[in-house]
Amino acid sequence: MIKLLIYEDNPQLREGLTMLIDGSEGFSVLAAFKNCSNVANEIKTYQPDVILMDIDMPGVNGLQGLKIIRETNTEVKILMLTVFDDHQNIFEALQNGANGYILKKTPPAKLLEYIEEASTGGAPMTASVATQVLKMFAQLNLPSDKDYNLSEREKEVLQWLVKGYSYKMIAAEMFIAMDTVRSHIKKIYEKLHVNSKSEAVAKAFRDKIV
Amino acid sequence: MIKLLIYEDNPQLREGLTMLIDGSEGFSVLAAFKNCSNVANEIKTYQPDVILMDIDMPGVNGLQGLKIIRETNTEVKILMLTVFDDHQNIFEALQNGANGYILKKTPPAKLLEYIEEASTGGAPMTASVATQVLKMFAQLNLPSDKDYNLSEREKEVLQWLVKGYSYKMIAAEMFIAMDTVRSHIKKIYEKLHVNSKSEAVAKAFRDKIV
DNA sequence: CTGTAATCCACATATTTATGTGATTGAATT
DNA sequence: AATTCAATCACATAAATATGTGGATTACAG
């Protein structure tokens, strides 16, 4: 038996969802609310397995509710339920630990399937949402694993540079002469094709050397 | 009619997939190969709508094949097909523009559904994969949109700093005196709680101010 | 065996940065 | 009207950084 809470401001939809889900075998709607203004307590009181969370609600909305819940509870499955497959909302929801993101136009049978999936650790997403998620992934810029052929020692020096250490401090940290630090740094600049500390730091970040 | 290419090293599975898909209404398997060693040409020759791509293949494997294809073709839908829902492979595939990621244990009916979904711009994923994708999302660390109350002018100066410009150059770029640049920078350091150019640059990157 | 590369150190000098102390103007707020 | 703050500029000094030239050692590959 999957126990649910529903957060949805529209009274008709709230009633409709409750009837649909509560009337289905294996599902039980514990309660339904019109916003998240008391969500923390409600979760603690009802101990649901799954939460259907509308995003667009007056008062404390679904994204805020999601964050509030996740501050103390990482177990309960939260299924975002919304009209729009809006880029920004999807992103924010998934960033904050939502377990799924489905559109309200989802047919009833499919909805029950999605709830089931969420409760068993899945990540149900409407197709259009999944597509956007993948696009976001492809746009992430990650370790471009460029090498620049930095030697171990040079990488080590670069680490300290990035932390804002002066030559003198680096020399002390690495137990070598300041002049040696200098020659390492010179070599680093050559290899990175830069000619100042801050450029080296910037490049280290950009190319994820650090 | 959805036109497919299949890349799969196991002869039995390759045959099986071809028969299943080609024998289904609305699907046509143009060809099937045992690895990606000639993938660029094959794509150009056959102009498929969807590619089923095994990851584990001898010679040029599926991930390499994916990258090769995406160098010249961002249109064709590529569905990764593999035995393991391995974190690293999922990540790399999605990073490189795969349109879906499904496990080989997927039942035939579901597989056809997935292919259909991919061809219409969806992003079919096995539940366990979708779950991992969401987890990765939640672990991403993003613009912590910290403010630091930098004024417009200060932000502008910071941009130049990050680009490695010297005070003198910044002064020239911004048509102000070097001393003014200095006072801006001093203020920036105060606000960011740092005390050197490279630290400021590092912080700008870390906190995504730039 | 020889060349190459990484690591280490030194001395000299020019440029750049950091720090301090002031000051003026104008716009926005109280 | 008084205050605050961003933005502008100035002068001075100390510290850090960049650049050049040069040399020593070790280790490893061809």
Q: What is the pLDDT of residue A80?
A: 96
Tell me which chain B residue has its CA closest to the CA of residue A139: B95
CA distance B95 to chain A (A): 4
Is the shortest CB-to-strand distance from A187 to strand C under 7 Å?
yes
Q: What is the pLDDT of residue B178?
A: 95
Predicted structure pTM score: 0.70
B1 CB within 8 Å of a chain A CB: no
Q: What is the pLDDT of residue A70?
A: 96
Is the shortest CB-to-strand distance from A101 to strand D under 7 Å?
no
Residue A180 C-alpha from the chain's centroid: 43
Total beta-carbon pairs less than 8 A apart between chain A and chain B: 101
Enumerate residue ranges in chain B where pLDDT < 70: 141-145, 210
3-state SS, residue B198: helix
Q: Which nucleotides of D are covered by protein (CB under 7 A)?
A: 6-11, 16-23
Q: What is the pLDDT of residue A145?
A: 64
B196 CB within 8 Å of a chain A CB: yes
Q: What is the pLDDT of residue A87?
A: 87
What residues of chain A lie within 8 A of the CB of B66, using their CB? none
Q: What is the pLDDT of residue B210?
A: 65
Q: Could you list the pLDDT tens digit for every one of the 210 residues in chain A?
A: 999 999 999 999 999 999 999 999 999 999 999 999 999 999 999 999 999 999 999 989 999 999 999 999 999 999 999 998 888 899 899 989 999 999 999 999 999 999 999 999 889 999 889 999 888 888 776 666 677 889 999 999 999 999 999 999 999 999 999 999 999 999 999 999 999 999 999 999 888 776
Is the shortest CB-to-strand distance from A160 to strand D under 7 Å?
no
Round to whole Å and give the CA distance between A12 and A7: 12
Round to whole Å and give the CA distance between B210 and B66: 32
For residue A152, give both structure tokens: 């171990």
For residue A1, give both structure tokens: 């038996």
A159 CB within 8 Å of a chain B CB: no
Nearest-10 crossing angle of helices A178-192, A197-206: 50
Distance in angstroms: CA A178, C1' C10: 10
Q: What is the pLDDT of residue A122?
A: 87
Q: Dmax of chain B from CA atoms?
A: 77
Round to whole Å and give the CA distance between A141 and A61: 31
Using alpha carbons, list the distances in angstroms from residue A20 to A29, A31, A112, B29, B134: 10, 13, 9, 42, 28
A163 CB within 8 Å of a chain B CB: yes
Distance in angstroms: CA A198, C1' D24: 31
Are A69 and A26 a contacting pair, CB within 8 Å?
A: no
Q: What is the pLDDT of residue A144?
A: 62
- Domains within chain A, CATH numbers bracketed: 2-139 (3.40.50.2300), 152-206 (1.10.10.10)
